[in-house]
Every structure is written in C-alpha cells, then in structure tokens.
Amino acid sequence: SNAGSGGVKVLKSSDGEKYIDLGKKKRATVRSFKGNMLVDIREFYGDDGNEKPGKKGISLTMEQWETLKDSMSTIDDLLVTQ
C-alpha cells in the first residue's frame, strides 16, 4: 500500500484494484468499466482478506465525481445548518 495526497492510505484488493478504506466495511475504489473510469463507493461484507462487494453502493462517472467534488463545501455548509 502507498499513501495518496494528504496522507490518505491507498490499499490494494486481492484482485489488484486500488481503494481507500472509509471505515465500517465501506470503500472508495477507482476502477475501469467498459473503458470508463469510475469511482465506486460501496459496502463490503465477509471476513478480512475475503471481503466481497455488497449491493449497497454507487458508481460515479468522472463527470459525476467532479460535480460531487465541486459540491463539497456546499454539502459541508448544509451539514452545519441542519
């Protein structure tokens, strides 16, 4: 594993995909599907070292990922005002 920007730890799954552990068996994985890069945020189940992706999750296209990133400060503001 190696560190990404900001000291975030980048891990590798058993099938070689790079991911970031979000805690509580949730991961953000960068993967290619049918030639398109996706950011997949998903819940996993199973024992350590034998985790399988669950049905609960979402795959974002690069365009959707950019929109989400551009919305971060607005989302932060909404979290504070709720």
Does residue 5 have a pLDDT over 80?
no
Cβ(51)–Cβ(45) under 8 Å? Answer: yes
Summarize pLDDT for 20-70 with one digit per residue, the tens: 999 999 999 999 999 999 999 999 998 877 888 999 999 999 999 999 999
Most confident of 8-12, 13-17, 68-72, 78-82: 68-72
DSSP H helices, the chain, are: 62-70, 72-81
Taking the model in full, what pTM does it have? Answer: 0.79
The encoded tokens of residue 30 equal 């960068």
Choice between 79 and 6, residue whose per-residue pLDDT is larger = 79
pLDDT of res. 4: 66
What's the chain's Rg over C-alpha atoms?
Answer: 14
CATH 3.40.1160.10 assigned to domain 2-81? The reply is no
